[in-house]
Structure 1
């Protein structure tokens, strides 16, 4: 063992999570087995964001600095054998962004200490990473208490000569949530056709944007729940709940290289219909009473099937206007109790239940810096992002399918045009 037996940075009270504008206090501890000459002992406190163009690559192509402060703890001299302690204090800037870490970039804050030794001697360095949580108050987002509703109508063809449509409407009780809060989803499906739909799927998606040489987008499914399909000529209503796990907050204010967005996507595979609702994840809950979701202008509640289905309805089953309740087939959170649902650094404050009543000693909001596995895709050229064919990518706008101008001939018409000598029974 060399002369330096211990060289470390300690933060007071073992803290690892701080708020912007708060003082960061600690000490640099050194234990020596023999005297150590030095030219200077310094400590620096830095905060920066770095972005790469490849996953988990240390070759950064984009970088921005938020603060860089330095202190000189001791000038040129010699440290005798034994233990030494050097206190320090930094004031964190009020504009420092929340810590974040993903496969293509990270926002990192750390304290680094250096013992600058004389020429031909090896310098000694140590560092301590700490986390900054800049709480996002959901009440500062415009219209956050308004109902979150989206609707789409999908026309499709089936059995070659028949056409139908499905109206899919999704709504949530709020537009913003905090960790541990329950997201209440309601989906209304009107099957205005004689064909059953596929199961309805709702996915909570996270989209992280990295500004490298070109924009890189990482999208992953946070939670997924699947409901039953809707029978022909039926209206159905599906209600489900999703527990918001520990996730990084939306937007990451103060950082221009990384942006985080969340979406709730409700979709059908048959027919292909998708609605997407933007969702905000913050640290301070919405304090307004949520309004009741109302159908948007795109929602159509017909009292009869569409005109092109009039003949089919006359000879087939009637359209049921009273909605039925859909059952849930699978839920990705069924095996997840109220335990830790995300990546929270050691020493970070624990989540607390949102019961609506002020706590006598409120805890700081929980901090999550990791995003987990993601599916990347890139923006092509200088335009906006172009999604790939991955099922996790936010879907593009779907347009109506093309229909044949004339229906194909029936079996009798086909046989009538054949040679009479070839017809059966001749």
Structure 2
């Protein structure tokens, strides 16, 4: 086959993030320096979810002896797979002429798909692969990995505006003596957020013990549940955290409207993938002396992809009429809802939706085709929904 200057997949409008049910469109570009013979050019759309890990376990060998061996746990799910020829027909020889050729393609994603994800144990991956079939020679290949984000609209979540509330009490023991309790009362302003928003935290820690609480902290935790066909495992990942002050013995301290911003992360799972489940928790900790277990109180929250409308509802018409009347149009920083909770006031400017990678989240991998042949190494990081409130008048400073 003749030499090529270019062989790549270009997505329409350079788009890299899609929703389930959306059409993926673009062009396969082939630029030939000279004519060449082919058996067609094939393009394939592929989505898969896989968990794969190894554990050391004691097993009995054929001689009846016990030894430590590597046990492989795995689950693989093909989410979709479709291929077709954009040039020529399968097995029929055709001449690919000199010059640049653009072969358009379109593929509609299934209506239900899990969000893209990558780590060292699991991946949910979507890609386009293209192959130039060559007679009696190695087939040139190219591919493009793209992100799919499952929509989780917080406007459909009835408990989104309810605060996450919890209490925890701990007693410290020293030999045969038991000191007074350490008690925390914890509350976040809501129980559902989108990346880019701030969690507003209020807490009271009452230390009636004879020991100092060295520090307090709040952490956003991601709980990953990996489900292989024969076993499951859970891994906790710290997404972000903030530290508060200490609490001397017999004293009380408070967290008042402290704010923790949520970075780009995948949304809470909605049951679309059997192999991987993602949930989020806010963890409040009172850090104690080395020989004691810390006081811990955690509450589950939901991370979505579409924010609540009441946080940015357009009030331009209302403001305009107030301006015409000569009234003060300045808005309060917050209002009180039916539950007596303080929530941000609506704004005339909605937050800006963008897509960002998790910091340090790129994964290097080498995919293989249906025949086990490697398609080459790729460095890829999914992009997740993130809302920029900097141009909005919602009080999120």
TM-score of the pair, normalised by structure 2: 0.70
1:252 Cα deviation (Å)?
A: 5.4
Match of 2:180 in 1: 164
Match of 1:233 in 2: 250
- Answering whether residue 304 of structure 2 is matched by residue 282 of structure 1, we say yes
1:105 Cα deviation (Å)?
A: 1.4
- Answering whether residue 52 of structure 2 is matched by residue 52 of structure 1, we say yes
CA contact (8 A) 2:114 2:269 kept: no
CA contact (8 A) 1:252 1:258 kept: no
CA contact (8 A) 2:205 2:254 kept: yes
Q: In structure 2, the residue corresponding to 1:53 is in which secondary structure?
A: strand
Once residues 131 and 192 of structure 1 are traced to their aligned partners in structure 2, the CA distance between those partners, rounded to angstroms, is 51
Residues 141-290 of structure 1: matches in 2 within 5 Å? Answer: 141-158=157-174, 161=177, 163-212=179-228, 213-239=230-256, 240-251=258-269, 253-270=271-288, 272-287=294-309
Match of 1:105 in 2: 122
Once residues 357 and 212 of structure 2 are traced to their aligned partners in structure 1, the CA distance between those partners, rounded to angstroms, is 42
CA contact (8 A) 1:203 1:264 kept: yes
Q: In structure 2, the residue corresponding to 1:52 is in which secondary structure?
A: strand
Residues 382-421 of structure 1: matches in 2 within 5 Å? Answer: none
CA contact (8 A) 2:189 2:201 kept: yes
Once residues 97 and 194 of structure 1 are traced to their aligned partners in structure 2, the CA distance between those partners, rounded to angstroms, is 50
CA contact (8 A) 1:101 1:370 kept: no
Match of 2:42 in 1: 42
Closer/same/farther in 2, CA of residues 201 and 82 from structure 1, 3 Å limit: same
CA contact (8 A) 1:248 1:367 kept: no
1:140 Cα deviation (Å)?
A: 3.0
Once residues 167 and 84 of structure 1 are traced to their aligned partners in structure 2, the CA distance between those partners, rounded to angstroms, is 70
Larger proportion of strand: 2
Match of 1:10 in 2: 10
Once residues 371 and 136 of structure 1 are traced to their aligned partners in structure 2, the CA distance between those partners, rounded to angstroms, is 25
Once residues 346 and 48 of structure 2 are traced to their aligned partners in structure 1, the CA distance between those partners, rounded to angstroms, is 36
Closer/same/farther in 2, CA of residues 163 and 14 from structure 1, 3 Å limit: closer
| Structure 2: gaps of 5 or more residues | 56-71, 311-335, 363-397
1:82 Cα deviation (Å)?
A: 2.0
Match of 2:67 in 1: none
Aligned residues: 309
Closer/same/farther in 2, CA of residues 16 and 114 from structure 1, 3 Å limit: same
Match of 1:19 in 2: 19
Once residues 355 and 368 of structure 1 are traced to their aligned partners in structure 2, the CA distance between those partners, rounded to angstroms, is 29
Structure 1 counterpart of 2:82, from 66, 69, 74: 69
| Structure 1: gaps of 5 or more residues | 295-353, 374-426
- Larger Rg belongs to: 1
